[in-house]
Amino acid sequence: MKTVYNDRHGQHAARHEFFRGQLVPAFEIPARAYYVLQALQAAELGPILPPEDHGLAPLARVHSAAYLDFLSGAWAEWQGLGGEGDAFPAVWPVRTLRADVLPRSFAARLGLYSMDSGTPLTAGAWPAAYWGAQCSLTALDLVLAGERSAYVLTRPPGHHAGADFFGGYCFVNNAAVAAQAALDRGLKRVAILDVDYHHGNGTQACFYERADVFFASIHGDPLTEYPFFLGHADETGAGAGLGFNANFPLPAGASNEAWFACLDAALARLQAYAPELLIVSLGVDTYGGDPISHFQLDRPEFSLLGQRIRRFGAPTLWLQEGGYATEAIGHNVLAVLRGFESST
Ligand code: OKP
Ligand code: ZN
């Protein structure tokens, strides 16, 4: 399997993040991708390729122009204001406040375009996220040219980012950009399966009222788990998209049996949809040793996941999302991809 590697991810390197009112060491760090790269190289999974630049237009098919403008200029603006260290939002236009008037204040726009205070905006957040999307588009090219599958090794992740906001460590929604690009290249039905521990609220929202992308997600129940405000089972799509969204929330601590029962159910829904392309938002924070998540998958289960996806039978684009047990994530990702490769 070919890997497209975001060689600029290291520019996004937060030292700390806010967690329960404290600054704690960041979880979403460059070492995550270095461990995966090392594991792929050691296993000789396949060629590791750099991204090709497809420009801003495919990102603008998913994200608003105002948001991309803000994000691409945010660090310079913050520096111009004398910002020291990473920028953290601290104020949001919640219910009764107006989000339709663009404030001049940087702090206010940082809040307008974000969903939480746990996502440091660093000097390199924009280039890292931009090139992550370019990796996703490059890998999509490979799959559309006939590769059975391709894997995108990138960070920061993307699935929490919405059309006009960042959050949950995410800035640009790679899965949504790739899905929309596939449709723009002529595909009629794209499926996104999100197996990250956290619900992919951004991806779901992008396609919630559309029938051309089916979004299915297995995740920790938002009643107790991030992102808290989306991801319930009764979210089944709206308008033309009604019936094309399927959420499988599981309680924190759920068994592997329960997780695979959800995987089977999700894949059955996607099978009935008969997509021409399957995009997998591959978070491996479902690992039992993950420091911020509460499922119990391990290497054999990750391998089984890969095998199930292989059996699904569609051209498959794998996109890296979460996974915070830093030293284990390489082995976990490799187990998934090898499970896929070894199966027929
Ligand atoms: C991103 B992805 C832990 C607090 C949780 C948000 C988690 C985002 C997960 N410090 N902060 O879905 O893996
Ligand atoms: Zn996650």
Q: Is 146 left (phi over 0), alpha (psi -120 to 50) or beta?
A: left
Domain, as residue range, for 160 = 2-63+123-342
What tokens does 137 get? 């588009």
Query: In the predicted model, is pLDDT for residue 266 greater than 90?
Result: yes
- pLDDT digits 0-9 by tens, 211-224: 999 999 999 999 99
- Band (201; pLDDT cuts 50, 70, 90): very high
Q: What's the token pair of residue 226?
A: 């991030």
* pLDDT score of 156 more than 90: yes
- Is the ipTM above a cut-off of 0.90? yes
CA 213 remoteness from chain centre: 16
The per-residue pLDDT for range 25-61, each reduced to its tens digit, is: 999 999 999 999 999 999 999 999 999 999 999 999 9
CA-based torsion, 132, 137, 138, 143: positive or negative: positive
- Residues of the chain above pLDDT 70, percent: 100
How far does the centroid of ligand 1 lie from the alpha carbon of residue 213, in Å?
Answer: 25
| Res 343: pLDDT | 85
Pocket test for ligand 1, best of 29, 195, 198, 295 (most atoms within 8 A of CB): 198
Please provide the DSSP assignment of 272-322 as one string: HH--SEEEEEE--TTBTT-SS----B-HHHHHHHHHHHHHH-S-EEEEE--
Taking Cα atoms as reference points, which of 7, 326, 85, 62 lies closest to residue 207?
62
Q: What is the pLDDT of residues 287-310, one digit of tens each?
A: 999 999 999 999 999 999 999 999
pLDDT of 344 over the 80 cut: no
Residue 142: its pLDDT value, please? 99
In short, whether 285's Cβ falls inside 6 Å of ligand 1 is yes
Query: Other C-beta atoms within 10 Å of 104: how many?
Result: 6
* Domain count for the chain: 1
Question: In the numeric block, which tokens belong to residue 118?
Answer: 């746990």
The answer to the question of residue 187 being in a domain is yes
Amino acid identity of 48?
Answer: I
Separation of 29 CA from ligand 2 center, angstroms? 14
User: What does the pLDDT read at residue 49?
Assistant: 98
pLDDT of residue 167: 98
Q: Choose which residue among 18, 160, 324 to substitute to test ligand 1 binding: the one with the highest number of ligand atoms within 8 A of its C-beta.
A: 160
Average pLDDT, stretch 6-30?
95
| One-letter identity of residue 308 | R
CA distances 239 to 201, 202, 210, 212, 235, Å, are 18, 18, 8, 12, 12
**324-343 per-position pLDDT tens digit:** 999 999 999 999 999 999 98
Would you state the pLDDT for residue 116? 97
Q: How far apart are CA 179 and CA 189, in angstroms?
A: 9
pLDDT tops 80 at residue 179: yes
DSSP character string of 178-244: HHHHHHHTT-S-EEEEE-SSS--HHHHHHHTT-SSEEEEEEEE-TTTSTT-SS--TT----GGGTTS
Distance from residue 114's CA to the centre of ligand 1 (Å)? 14
Q: Is 120 a pocket residue for ligand 1 (Cβ < 6 Å)? A: no
Q: Is the CB of 214 under 6 A from ligand 1?
A: no
66-80 pLDDT per residue, tens: 999 999 999 999 999
Q: What type of residue sits at position 163?
A: A
* Residue 70 and residue 109 in contact, taking contact as beta carbons nearer than 8 Å: yes
* 142 C-alpha to ligand 1 centroid (Å): 30
Q: Is 19 in the pocket of ligand 1 (CB under 6 A)?
A: yes
What CA–CA distance (Å, rounded) separates 96 from 156?
32
Let me know: does 161 contact 126? Beta carbons within 8 Å.
Answer: no
Choose the residue to mutate in 172, 292, 294, 333 for probing ligand 1, maximizing ligand atoms within 8 Å of C-beta: 292
CATH number of the domain encompassing residue 309: 3.40.800.20
**Inter-CA distances, 322 with 189, 319, 333, Å:** 26, 10, 11
Return the pLDDT at 128: 99
d(CA 261, CA 272): 17
Average pLDDT over the chain reads: 98
pLDDT band at 277 (very low <50, low <70, confident <90, very high): very high
**What is the pLDDT at residue 39?**
98
- Across residues 120-143, what is the average pLDDT? 99
- At 20 the pLDDT is 84
The reply to whether ligand 1 has any atom less than 6 angstroms from the CB of 283 is yes
Distance separating alpha carbons of residues 67 and 47, to the nearest angstrom: 34
What are the C-alpha distances in Å from 80 to residues 75, 76, 142, 341? 8, 6, 41, 49
Quick check: is 68 in a domain? Answer: no
Residue 180: pLDDT above 80? Answer: yes
Task: Please check whether residue 304 lies inside any domain of the structure.
Answer: yes
Which residues form the catalytic set? 160
Both structure tokens of 325: 């047990």
Rounded CA-CA distance 294/209 in Å is 31
Q: Does a structural domain hold residue 224?
A: yes
In a domain, 117, yes or no: no
Residue 95 pLDDT more than 80? yes
For residue 153, give the DSSP letter.
Answer: E
